[in-house]
Each structure stands twice: as structure tokens, then as C-alpha cells.
Amino acid sequence: MILSWLPQDVSTFGPSIDSVLKLIIYVVGTAFVLAEGTLLAFVILYRRREGGRAAFVPGESLRQLAWVLIPVVIVAFLDVAIDVRAKPVWDLVKEQSPTPALTVKLEALQFGWEFTYPGPDGKFGTPNDLVQTTFLTVPAGQVIRLLMTSKDVIHSFYVPQLRLRQDIIPGREIPAWFEVTQPGKYEIACSQLCGNSHFAMKGILRVLTPEEYQQWVSQHWPKSGAGAGKSASSARSSASGTKG
């Protein structure tokens, strides 16, 4: 497969993004081969020869202009075709966020990640909120919503396995969502150069099975009853994250 070198895909919308990437690679790759092949052919066919003289070509005839106009039309058509194919994927990732089972506030800062999770009441800004750095713990198979902001400069939340990258801008709260299909640990990186220690701005997305996640909820909110008698949605909200 042409994309076998990509990281493992564990996101529900990952295959859609990969399909657009394949289309772009095929289109651009084909254009590159044709353009470079034509250039090489011209270099060989019209190379300098003894007795040969260079000719001035004004490019005013329709036949001469066709060498420019036809490629322009083809490139424009392919560009529109890629945009049309990518529009549903953009809407899926950016415009059509499903109802989340869990919402977490994320604050990026030089040089780390800070996650704030609502307590058993499911509300932010109450005494039972939890704040953790570095680790984001979520259940597999559930829609997770992030409300992201930056404390200082522009950062970018990036998890290659999720096919998710979102710039984070100071003064704005930017939403994003994902749903992980496989439990595991995945690195959270900042893909914007944000300062001298940018290289060290690393986080961990820890994805648990539903059973492990409920145990984790009970351990971190033992008085809330989230691990036993609370509804599943309240339990997921209350357990949005503590340090693993």
C-alpha cells in the first residue's frame, strides 16, 4: 500500500482522511512524473548540436499557447476534484462533531499540556474538577470532545494515530473531537514551533477498554459512585482524566 509508511490508524475518521491523502499523492505523483518526463525528453531532443541555432518562440499562436493553457486547465480541474472529494471529510472532522460522551478542557503552554476534567457533576469550574498534566485518559469507542486554548503562544495538538492536528491560538477556545477504536498509548505532540523547548512538549493519550475505564473512574472518584450506581454518561464525564 502506498500509505503503509503512515502511523497506525486508530481513529473513526482516519480512513476518510487517508483516502483524501491517497488521492492527493496519486494526482501529484502522476503530474510530477509527467512533468519531469517531459522536461527530460525536451532536454534530450533539443539539446545543443553542432550547427544548431536557438529560435525565438513568441508563444502567440494557439498551438504554442496550448502548451500552457492545456496544463493549466488540467491542474485546475484536478484541484477542484480534490476539493470536492475533501469537502465531506472536512465537514466530518470540523463541522459535524457528534454528541460527546466526554468533554475535556485542554490548555497548551510552554512547554506542556494541561487537561481539566469535570467531576461527577459533569460541570467545569467546580471544586471536584481534576487537572492533570501530560496524561489524557479516555475510553475506547466513545466520542471525546476537546476544548482547546493556549496560555502563551500558538501551539498545535497533534496525534498521528488519530489523524488529528489542530492549531491552538491564545485568546480562543477551539473545539475538536475524536473517537479511538483501539486501546493503547499514543504520543501527543506539538506540531508548531513554540519556543526553545518545543522538542520536549510531549503528552500521552492513554486509551482504556470500557471495563478498565470504569475501574479507573471508581479509583479516582470513589465517593461519587460513578463506578457503580451513576449513569454511564455521568461516569464518563467524571472520569475524563487524571494522571495515569
Query: What does the pLDDT look like over 154-203, one tens digit per residue?
Result: 999 999 999 999 999 999 999 999 999 999 999 999 999 999 999 999 99
Mean pLDDT over the full length of the chain: 86
Q: Is the pLDDT score of 85 beyond 80?
A: yes
Yes or no: say if 114 and 184 are a contact pair by the CB < 8 Å rule: no
CA distance 117 to 129: 6
What value does the mean pLDDT take over residues 16-43?
93
Which domains occur in the chain, in start order? 14-48+55-95 (no CATH), 102-238 (2.60.40.420)
Residues forming beta bridges with residue 145, ordered by sequence position: 103, 177
**Three cell numbers, residue 29:** 505523483
Closest CA to 155 of 115, 202, 194, 203: 194
In b/e form, how buried is each residue of 154-173, taking b as 16+ CB within 10 angstroms? ebbbbbbbbbbebbbbeeee
The pLDDT value recorded for residue 2 is: 63
pLDDT in tens, 32-76: 999 999 999 989 988 888 877 777 877 788 888 888 899 999 999
Closest CA to 112 of 203, 191, 193, 187: 203
* pLDDT score, position 120: 81
Give yes or no for a cis peptide into 13 (omega within 30° of 0): no
Q: With 50 as the cut, is the pLDDT of residue 213 above it?
A: yes
Nearest CA to 219 among 197, 242, 237, 202?
A: 242
pLDDT higher than 50, residue 241? no
The SS3 call for residue 189 is: strand
How long a stretch of residues is the chain?
Answer: 244
H or E segment to which residue 21 belongs = helix 14-45
- What is residue 3's predicted lDDT score, i.e. its pLDDT? 67
Q: What is the pLDDT of residues 121-160, one digit of tens each?
A: 888 988 888 888 999 999 999 999 999 999 999 999 999 9
Q: Are strands 164-168 and 143-150 parallel, antiparallel or unpaired?
A: unpaired
